[in-house]
Structure 1
Amino acid sequence: MSRAIVHMDLDTFFVSCVRLENPQLNGIPLIVGGGERGVVASCSYEARYFGVRSAMPIRMAMQLCPQAKVVKGDMEFFSKKSNEVTQIVEENSPLVEKASIDEFYLDITGMDKFYGCYKWTNELSHTITKETGLPISFALSVNKTVSKIATGEGKPNGNLQIVENNVKHFLNPLSIRKIPMIGEVTFNLLSRIGIRNIEKLAETPAEVLQSMIGKNGVELWKKANGIDNTPVMPYKDRKSLSTEHTYLQDTIAVKEIATMILTMVEKLAFQARSEQWLVSTVAIKIRYSNFDTENTQRKTAYTSCDHVLGKLALELFNKLYTRRMRIRLIGVSFTGLVRGTYQMNMFEDTEEMMALYQAMDSIKNRYGFEAVTRGGNCFKSKVEEQLRVRNSQ
C-alpha cells in the first residue's frame, strides 16, 4: 500500500500574521524585517512580484520595490499563531511532524479506507484558516519530498494531489532547485554539466552524482526519482537547551569563568540554530564550593544569536555572583523555545552579521564545532572589568 503523506505550509506566514493584527496592510507590498541594514525575513506576494525575496538585504528590497512597507516582526505573536495551528493539526491528525514554525508533515496512510485522504486534508486546511485566519497550502503524495515540492508549486492557497503513477510526470520538468536539499553551490555545480531539470538529474547515474558531490549524491538521485522513505516523526517540543561545567578545582578566576560562559553559550546557540530553535529566556546557575546553588534568569527577544545571548549570560552572571567564594560549577540554559531559524530572527541584525553566522555555522557543520569559534568580545571585557572592580572593593 502506498503511503499518504501531506505537507502543509502556512502561506507567507509572517506577513499573514502581521496582516491579522493590521488589516490595512492587506493587498500592499509588505516586507517583514527590520532596519535599513537588516534583511527580509518574509515578504508578501505583492512584493515578490518586484523581485523581493526572503534573506535579501532590506536596502536591496527597497530599491526593487520602493513602495513596499517594512514592518518589524513580533516573534512572540508568530509563535502564538503557530501554536494555534499546531494544536488544530495534532487534534485531528494521527501522526504529525512539525518541521518548522510554519510547516507540517502528516502521515494519513490508510485513511482512504474510511474517508478520502484528499477530502480530509482539504477540510483540515479550511478548518485551520477559519479558526486562525491564516491561509495555508498543502499537497498530498507518496512521500515527504514530493509533497513538499508540490506544496511549493501550488502556492498560494494550493491544494495539490500527486498520485504515485504521476510522480515522475510531475517532477521531471521542474528545476533541480525545487529539490529541498539542493543549495546554490550544488545547483551551480550541476548546471555547469547541463543538469538543470529533475528529469536530467534522475537519468544521471547515482555513482556519478556520488563522485561529484559526495555521500549526498545517492540521496539526491533518489529524490529526483521520487524515492523518499523518510518517516514522519512525531512532533515533540523541546523544553530547554542546557549545559554545565564542573571545575576540577574550585575557582574564583573571573576571566576564565567568563570565557567558559561564552563558550557554553556559543555551543548552545549553535545547537539551537542547527535544530531550528529560537530562545526567549536565558538562565545562569552557580554552585559554590560549599555546594550552595543560586540561579537567575531573564527574558529576551526571540533569538539564536550567541553574540546576543552571550552578552545577556555574562550580565546575569555579574548580577548573580555576589559572594566572595570559590565556584565549583557554572551552568547555562535556554528556555522558552519556539521553532524558527536564524534568518527568521533578523529583525535587528545587519546583513553582515547574518552572513557571518551562516559562514561560521557552515564551517562548524562540516569540520566540527571547534573548527571556528569567536574571539574576544567587547561586552565580555566590559563585564569582566565590572567584576574586577567590584571584587577589589
Structure 2
Amino acid sequence: MGEQPPVLCLRFRRIGGELPDSAEYEGLIALLGAFTPVVEAAPPDAALADVSGALRYFGQDVTGLASVIRVRALALHGVDCAIGAAANPMLARMAARQAAPGTTFVVPVDGAAAFLGARPAAALDGVGAATARTLCGYGLDSVGRIAAAPLATLQRITGVRTGRDLWERANGIDRTRVVPNAAARSIAAERSFPRDELDPEQHRRALLSLTEELGTRLRTEGQVCRALAVTVRYAARSGYATLTRSRTLREPTAHSVELAGLAYRIQDSLGLQRARVRGIALRAEGLYEAERAAHQLTFDPVDERARRIEEVADRLRARFGPDVVKPGRLAA
C-alpha cells in the first residue's frame, strides 16, 4: 500500500444537504470511535480522526477505510461524508474542503507541495482577508510563493510569530495533533430557516439568538471562549454550499454582547448579504474555565450596566426557563 496519510477530516451532511442535528452528530463521533480512539470533535459538522492504527488493524488503505466509514454513516445515521486524508490536521482540513460529498480527497504523504503550491494565500488556515491582502501586496498571492519566500521576509511583513506560522503552513508543516475527546473545547448551535431566507435582518436575528444561547450556556457552565466560527449554508447554482469563517475575540469571554459583535463582523466578512440563506451555525471555540480568564477593566458605564443586566437575566432564566428573558430584537 505504501505510506498512507494517517489523518482524516470528515465533514458531515444529511442526504438533503442539511447539517446533522446534535444527536446525529454525537452518533457520528461514536461511530468514528469504533475505528480509532483518537477522534477530535469539531462541531457542528466536522471531526478529525487519527487512523494510523486503524489502517493496520483493518488492513485497508486510507481510501478503503474512508469508504467503510462513509457507508456506516449513511446506513446508521442517514448522513453523508466528504472526507479529506493527509499527513496532518491542517492538510486534512484543506483536503476535506476540496472533497465533494460522498468522495475522499487524498493528499499523498509526499504530495503536500504539489497540493498547496497553486492555491491562493487565503486558502491557508489562519490567513484572513486582511493578511491575504497584505501578502498579495508583496506579490505573495499563492501558497507556493509564500513557501518559497525567505522566512525573514515573511516575519518582516507580518510579524515574527505570524511569519513563522505562515512559512510552516505554506510548506505543509502542522505541529498540532488530533486531540482525543476534545468535544468540550467547543460548543455549537444552529438555526435553520423553513425556506431560503433573503432578508438580512432575519439573518441578523438568527445570529443574535445563537449568541444569546451560547453565551448563556457558557456562563452557566463557568466557561469562556477564545474564538467564534460562523457557518452559513446558502443556495448556490449546484444546490447548497457552505462557508465557514472564524475569528479570535479580543479577550476570552462569555459576554453575549461581545459574542454578538464578533459574530456580526464575521458574517459581514463573508460577503453573503444577498445570499439565499437556509441555515446559520455558530461555534464557540477554545473553551476554558472562566475563573482563569483575565478581563480588561474599563470605566465604560454602558459595558458594566450590560454585564449586570446579563447576570440578572441569567438568574431569571435559571429559575423560570430559557425564554423568560430575551433581547427586544428577538421578542417580536
TM-score range, shorter chain: 0.5 to 0.7
Secondary structure in structure 2 of the residue aligned to 1:201: helix
Query: Could you tell me which of 2, 7, 10 is aligned with 1:8?
Result: 10
User: How far did 1:353 drift?
Assistant: 8.0
Q: Distance in 1 between matches of 2:311 and 2:170?
A: 53
Q: Distance in 1 between matches of 2:173 and 2:311?
A: 55
Q: CA RMSD in A?
A: 4.2
Q: Which amino acid aligns with 2:181?
A: Y
Q: What residue ranges of structure 1 are gaps of 5+ in the alignment? A: 18-76, 239-274, 280-300, 314-331, 346-351, 362-367, 388-393
1:130 counterpart = 2:57: no
Query: Could you tell me which of 78, 82, 100 is aligned with 2:43?
Result: 100
Q: Which amino acid aligns with 1:90?
A: G
Name the counterpart of 1:309: 216
Indicate the structure (1 or 2) with the bigger Cα radius of gyration.
1
Q: Distance in 2 between matches of 1:81 and 1:306?
A: 20
Question: Any residues of structure 2 matched to 1:90-239 within 5 Å, and which?
Answer: 90-113=33-56, 114-214=59-159, 215-238=161-184
Q: Distance in 1 between matches of 2:65 and 2:4?
A: 17
Q: Distance in 2 between matches of 1:383 and 1:115?
A: 56
User: How far did 1:2 drift?
Assistant: 6.9
Q: Which amino acid aligns with 1:369?
A: H
Are the aligned partners of 1:206 and 1:218 in contact in 2 as well (CA < 8 Å)? yes
Q: Distance in 2 between matches of 1:382 and 1:95?
A: 38
Q: Distance in 1 between matches of 2:91 and 2:151?
A: 19
Matched length? 236
Q: Distance in 2 between matches of 1:231 and 1:139?
A: 16
Are the aligned partners of 1:98 and 1:104 in contact in 2 as well (CA < 8 Å)? yes
Q: Distance in 2 between matches of 1:168 and 1:187?
A: 19
Q: Which amino acid aligns with 2:99?
A: G
CA 149–122 in structure 1, closer or farther in 2 if over 3 Å, else same: same
User: How far did 1:376 drift?
Assistant: 1.9
CA 356–4 in structure 1, closer or farther in 2 if over 3 Å, else same: closer
Name the counterpart of 1:376: 305
Q: Distance in 1 between matches of 2:180 and 2:87?
A: 18
Q: Which amino acid aligns with 1:309?
A: T
Are the aligned partners of 1:151 and 1:160 in contact in 2 as well (CA < 8 Å)? yes
User: How far did 1:207 drift?
Assistant: 1.9
Q: Distance in 1 between matches of 2:312 and 2:162?
A: 45
Identical residues among aligned pairs (%): 16
Question: Any residues of structure 2 matched to 1:19-34 within 5 Å, and which?
Answer: none
Q: Distance in 2 between matches of 1:156 and 1:343?
A: 21
Secondary structure in structure 1 of the residue aligned to 2:82: strand
CA 355–138 in structure 1, closer or farther in 2 if over 3 Å, else same: same
1:88 counterpart = 2:31: yes
CA 303–80 in structure 1, closer or farther in 2 if over 3 Å, else same: same
Name the counterpart of 2:319: none
Give the alignment's TM-score, normalised by structure 1. 0.51
Query: Could you tell me which of 220, 231, 238 is aligned with 1:333?
Result: 220
Q: Which amino acid aligns with 1:16?
A: E
Q: Distance in 1 between matches of 2:98 and 2:120?
A: 11
User: How far did 1:172 drift?
Assistant: 0.6
Are the aligned partners of 1:276 and 1:341 in contact in 2 as well (CA < 8 Å)? no
CA 229–353 in structure 1, closer or farther in 2 if over 3 Å, else same: closer
User: How far did 1:342 drift?
Assistant: 6.1
Are the aligned partners of 1:151 and 1:158 in contact in 2 as well (CA < 8 Å)? no
Q: Distance in 2 between matches of 1:161 and 1:211?
A: 34
**Larger RCO: Structure 1 or Structure 2 (Cα < 8 Å, ≥ 6 residues apart)?**
1
User: How far did 1:308 drift?
Assistant: 6.5
Name the counterpart of 1:288: none
User: How far did 1:354 drift?
Assistant: 3.8
Q: Which amino acid aligns with 1:159?
A: T
CA 115–199 in structure 1, closer or farther in 2 if over 3 Å, else same: same
